[in-house]
Amino acid sequence: MSTSSARLRVWRPAWPATPHTMRALRRGPGDPTYQVDEAGRHWRGIRTPEGPATLVLHARNDLGAIEARAWGPGADWALASVPDLLGDSDDWRGFEPRHPVLAEAWRRHPHLRLGRTGLVLEAVVPAVLEQKVTGQEAFAGFRMLVQRYGEPAPGPGADRRLRLQPDAATLRLVPSWAWLQMHVDGARSRAVVTAARVADSLERTVGLPGDEVDRRLRSLPGFGVWTSAEVRQRAHGDPDAVSFGDYHVPKDVGWALTGRPFDDAELEAFLEPWRPHRGRVPLLLAVAGLRRPRHGPRMAPRTHLPARVTRR
């Protein structure tokens, strides 16, 4: 790995932090902005407030440290973000498992943390593209968007074909026909463009209370409870954000904790005692690999693009 012009930070957390916390940011196996190399290092192409950056994290278990290197104009910002990215600001105080399955999952994963990027538009774009479609279709659309309208990440990121998401100005100029070529219907492309138009306001929601962030996000056309939660989980590290409206989450939580799948209303009622830590329940179950058995054929990608607007 080239270290030319690299900025270096060696961070020694008070708990066994791991770069695997960042996997929540990976949008499918072919995500152009995220890679894990043969040595287990995690690479990200990031568009920071100070400019583009390539960030690579390596767990140095021999030192009890995370070794971080970064390149590009945003390198210092990227290095400063590492503790938050890996969950240093996540506070589990007040969370009670309340269920033996959750207690066991927490016992097995006592150092689980929820990271936050502090980058809202970066979380918004893939979340909107994942509205009401299969993962296969959403990930393909995101890859095409980044490949066509993003740019190479700085330093050795470019050699690895790592890329940055397009910036707000570029997103605002993507023509409607190009979105359709990327299999993104009008409802979702309009939501992305709308978010890009108010990108500066979105970034200012970092640090606000979760309820206020949710209110501001859901005031945008095409943004519903699911999209808001997906953004708050990743950009804000909101422990109370639950992806209501998800095809799998209610069914998996219900099956793991009661033996039968939930619908959204049942999930919301069931999780209420965990407020303001509701999001930790599906997170713990997912990390523990507790999900209902999958039966039947998988949902197929659509062969047409719907015209109606959805708010998810």
Q: Is 120-151+165-236 a CATH 1.10.340.30 domain?
A: yes
Amino acid at 24: A
Q: Structure tokens of 258?
A: 């009661």
How do 151-152 and 42-48 pair as beta strands?
unpaired
**What letters, b where the CB count within 10 A reaches 16 and e where it falls short, cover 245-281?**
bbeebbbbbbbbbeeebbebeebeebbeebeebbbbb
Say what the pTM is: 0.90
Count of all residues that appear for the chain in the document: 312
Q: Structure tokens of 233?
A: 């989980």
- Render each residue's pLDDT in the chain as its tens digit; 312 residues: 555 688 999 999 999 999 999 999 999 889 999 999 999 999 999 999 999 999 999 999 888 899 999 999 999 999 999 999 999 999 999 999 999 999 999 999 999 999 999 999 999 999 999 998 888 889 999 999 999 999 999 999 999 999 999 999 999 999 999 999 999 999 999 999 999 999 999 999 999 999 999 999 999 999 999 999 999 999 999 999 999 999 899 999 999 999 999 999 999 999 999 999 999 999 999 999 888 876 654 444 554 444 444 446
